[in-house]
Each structure stands twice: as structure tokens, then as C-alpha cells.
Amino acid sequence: MFLSYGSNPPHYPEWQAYFRQHQPPMLIAWGANDQIFPAAGAEPYKRDLKTLEFHLLDAGHFALESAGDQIAGLMRDFLGRHVAK
């Protein structure tokens, strides 16, 4: 997984362009203590997306391990509001 991550950054501009054009609703649950991807990495999303929910959690890089229940609740709530029933 670490070796393949290097292929992602060159795609960032096209992903951001997609977000700006299509405006998908987005939920971001980010670890405030993430030493690999600091919270500042969310700024492009905040800038480009109109329907963005951003939650800075008391967690590190592997937020699902330490805040899984909280993230699951955020996901259920978000999907309940943004997915057609």
C-alpha cells in the first residue's frame, strides 16, 4: 500500500477539478493528530466543495481504529441526509 501511494499525487488536480465541476456531497472525518496527513490537507476540499461536512476528530492517522464508532455515526447520519430513499 505504501509503495502504490506515490501514484496518487499526480491525480490530485484532476480529482479536484471533478469535485469543483460535479459537487458531490462529501463527508470528511480527519484525525486531528494525524502525523502523515495533517488537517491542512483538507483545505482544498473545503475550498472546492459546497456540500462538505468536515469533522476533525481526536484521532491519529488510523482514525477508524480509535474513533470507529464516532465515524460510523457520522456516516449513517450523512448518508441518511444525502442518499435518496
Question: Which set of grid coordinates corresponds to residue 37?
Answer: 496527513
User: Which residues does the annotation mark as catalytic?
Assistant: 61
Backbone angles phi, psi at 27, to 5 degrees: -110, 125
31 burial via Cβ count (<10 Å: 0-12, 13-18, 19+):
buried
**CB environment 65-84: b (16+ within 10 A), e (fewer):** ebbeebbeebeeebeeeeee
